[in-house]
Amino acid sequence: MSAAFSRIYTDRVLQPSYQNWKRRYYADSIDVHRAHLVMLVERGIVTAEIAARIKSAMAEIDRAAPFPDRIPEGVEDLYFAYERELERIAGAENAAFLHTARSRNDMDTTVFRRVLKRELRGVCGLLASLGRAILERARAGEAELTLLYTHGQPANVSTMAHYLGAFLLDLLEGTEALIAAMESTDQCSLGACAITGTGFAIDRERTSRLLGFRSPVPNTYQAISTSHWLARPAQALELILTDIGRLAADMLHKASCEVGLLIFPDDLVQTSSIMPQKRNPVILEHIRIQAGIASGSCSSAAHIFKNVPYQDVNEVADAPVSEFIAALDTARSCVELLEEAVKKVSSDSARAREIALGFGVTTTELADSMVRDCGIGFRSAHRVCTAFVRSGYDKTALRGAFREIADKDLPYSDEDIDEALRPESFIEARKTAGGPAPEGMASVYATAGAALARIDAALSRLDERGRAAEAELDAAWAAV
C-alpha cells in the first residue's frame, strides 16, 4: 500500500506509474476486465450472479468522476485503486472473483501489448501512406533528370523515379519487417497468470480473440518474460529511421546550393531576407534529427534488456513501454515530414544535365556504344573517349583519336555523338531490370506495388480482426 511506502519511492516510482496508467492504459484495462469476466462466466468459473454484480459496479465506476491525479493513499497502483472501488460497490468477496485465474503480470502485459499494437498500427499506416506518396512521386518523375552519386561524387545521370524507387523498396521492406515484428506484440499473455498459468479451467483462446489478438503467447513463462513484443518492433523501426536518416543526408547534399539538384517550394524553405538566392530546405535537417532522436530511443528500448535475467522483470512494465510509445510519436512526426518533403520536392533537370555533361558522366555510354557498334574493345574505346574529354569535348579530337587507335573512321555523325552523350539517351539505354529506363522501372513499380498491397492487406486484416473482436466483446459483455 502506498501509505506504507517511503515518500521518495512513492514520488519516483508509484506516482509516475499511476499517471502513466491513467493516461495511456486505463481504457484497455477495462476491456481486459470485460473479456476476462466474460470468459470466466462462460467457463463456469464465476457465477452469472456474481458477474452481474461486478459488471454493475464497473459501470458505476465508469460513471463516476475520473480517478484523482495523485495516487490515493493506501494503494500501490491504479489497478488497486480500481479494485478498491469495486470492492466498495460490489463487496470484497464478490469483487475478488474478477481476479480469479489472473494476476497483475498477465493482465498488465496484455494491456501493454494491446496499446503498443495500436500505436504501432498507427505508425504502419503512416509508413504505408509515405510509401504510396513516394510511389506516386516516383512515377511522376520518370522524365525528371537527377544525378546519382557514389562516394559523394557524381556518377550517373538518372531519374527521380529511379532514385526514389530505390528508397521506396527499402522503405517497404522495412515496413513489412515491422509488420512481421508486430506479430510478437500481437499475442495475448492473459491466462499466464503469475508465470505458470492456473488450475482453473480457463480458455486462453477465448480472451485472446475477444481482445483482438492473433493468438495467446504459447508458453506461460514466456508470456511474462519475453522482450520480443517490445524489442522486435523497436529494432524494425530503428532500421526504417536509419534509412530515412540516410535519405535525408543524401537529399541535403543534392539540395545544397552548389549542387542544386533538388528544389523545394517556399513553404518548406527558410530564406534569408538579404540573400534571396539562399534557400535552405530546413525540413531535411529536421527529418534527419527526428530520425536520429527516434532511432536512438528505439535502440535504447531494445538495449534495456541487456543482461536482465530471463524472468518477469519490470523492464516490460509501464515505464519503458511509455518511453517507447513517446518515441513512436517522434517517429510519426519524422515520417509525416518526409512525406511532405517527398511530395513537394522537384528536380532541376537542367542542373542535372549541366552536371552530367560537365563531369562527363555520360561519356562512358559513348564508350560502351563504340564497343557495341564499332568493333573495338573497351580499352580502345576508353582511350578514345579519354582523349575526347581531355580535348574539352572536341569532336574533331574524338574522330582523330578513334582513327589513330582503331585504325579506321568513327562511323558516327555529330548527331550520333550528341545523341550518345545526351542524358536522356543514357537513361533510355538502361532498360536492365531495375534500371532507370521505363522498361527497367516496370519491375520496380511492380515489386513496390505488390509490397504495398501486402502491407495494406496485412493492416486491413489487423483492423478487421480488431473491429470483429470489439463487436464480439460488446455482444458477450451485454450477455453477462
> Within positions 110 to 129, which residues make up the interface with a second copy, using CB under 8 A?
none
Which of 30, 61, 140, 155: binder of a second copy (CB under 8 A)? 155
Give yes or no for residue 140 binding a second copy (CB under 8 A): no
Which of 80, 359, 393, 477: binder of a second copy (CB under 8 A)? 359
* C-alpha–C-alpha distance, residues 475 and 480, integer Å: 9
Q: How far is CA 128 from CA 100, 181, 460, in A?
A: 42, 16, 12
Cell of 457: 492487406
Contact indicator for 128, 459 with CB cutoff of 8 Å: yes
Q: Tell me whether residue 336 or residue 472 sits nearer to a second copy (CB atom).
A: 336
Q: Tell me whether residue 97 or residue 412 sits nearer to a second copy (CB atom).
A: 97
User: Footprint of a second copy on residues 163-192 (CB under 8 A)?
Assistant: 163, 165-167, 169-170, 173-174, 177, 180-181, 184, 191-192
Give yes or no for residue 156 binding a second copy (CB under 8 A): yes
* C-alpha–C-alpha distance, residues 387 and 372, integer Å: 19
Q: Tell me whether residue 326 or residue 468 sits nearer to a second copy (CB atom).
A: 326
3-state class (DSSP) for residue 110: helix
User: Footprint of a second copy on residues 24-43 (CB under 8 A)?
Assistant: none
The minimum distance between CB 459 and a second copy, in angstroms, equals: 19
Q: How far is CA 410 from CA 281, 296, 380, in A?
A: 47, 58, 12
Give yes or no for residue 144 binding a second copy (CB under 8 A): no
Q: How far is CA 215 from CA 29, 38, 110, 185, 295, in A?
A: 18, 17, 12, 10, 29
State the amino acid at position 416 in one-letter form: D
* C-alpha–C-alpha distance, residues 330 and 332, integer Å: 5
State the amino acid at position 374 in one-letter form: C
Cell of 358: 560537365
Burial of 276 by CB count in 10 Å (0-12 exposed, 13-18 middle, 19+ buried)?
Answer: exposed
User: Footprint of a second copy on residues 449-478 (CB under 8 A)?
Assistant: none
| Residue span binding a second copy (CB under 8 A) among the ranges 66-74, 111-119, 251-259, 454-462 | 251-259
Cell of 145: 533528370
Which of 214, 228, 422, 454: binder of a second copy (CB under 8 A)? 228
User: Footprint of a second copy on residues 363-402 (CB under 8 A)?
Assistant: 363-365, 367-369, 371-372, 377-380, 382, 385-386, 389-390
Q: Tell me whether residue 115 or residue 437 sits nearer to a second copy (CB atom).
A: 437
User: Footprint of a second copy on residues 258-317 (CB under 8 A)?
Assistant: 258-260, 266-268, 270, 273-278, 280, 282-283, 285-286, 288-290, 292-293, 295-297, 299-315, 317
Give yes or no for residue 149 binding a second copy (CB under 8 A): yes
